[in-house]
Structure 1
């Protein structure tokens, strides 16, 4: 450290002591000024202000259309802060045909677990949650599905309420 810094660090406690414990009384020669509060001045009362002070009047309301010309409820409001995006606009959606509006069967709630060929007939193992179903051709599942056909690669179900066919891939290749 150089000598200048040492001197400043030595004078720092002296300055702190003077700030805390130094004499804070004003010099004897300066006059002490005390400002006394005054009451607010009243403006001279005229005939109009005297009547208004005693009686409160409400002016008639003016219609919004007179104050703001051109404001219509039917007019579209402008978006002052529109969102901006660099993405291109989405393609227009095609008009839905009658076939697309027709009700569709929900996806089958079953998961394929396995299959086997026994006694000349295929049987498949399907699961839903904790339940396991062993199905063969012609069986009805849960009152909503009937097994139409089981082949080594697909299981075909018919959704009975809408008579729609659905397939589940069960792997394997036809032999």
Structure 2
């Protein structure tokens, strides 16, 4: 062992001995109050030079007020607070909503036909007239010129690569691509 270790072991044994065999009686006696010297000159706002102490001197400590004066009884019995300024009341920290913009008259958009519900399946040319095969859901519809489809669409013209349909409730013409001439 090094001499340093011996010194540390000896200090440990000495501390253990003091802890075991030392005087363990509590100190008796009461500490007496110390009298303070009273200031000779009364501190007033006129005597104080620094602005920090001016605020300290001019600050007035209010007396303790009874609870009803401080927080009037405004609870509704179910631990909710009626007024927003009540003590421990709910507070909303969200920013206020933006002021309402002036109502701008919106031009009404004229109604328009819905997108075509048909899928192009194929076409054929027989005796100089075109027949187009359309799909709607799991149904197959065969149309020619001037055909009505479900009472809402009318086939106006079949001129490959386009099929011209009229949406009857609004009388609007729509087109469906059917491919080029074969």
- TM-score using structure 1 length: 0.48
- TM-score using structure 2 length: 0.46
* Structure with higher RCO (Cα < 8 A, 6+ apart): 1
Higher CA-based Rg: 2
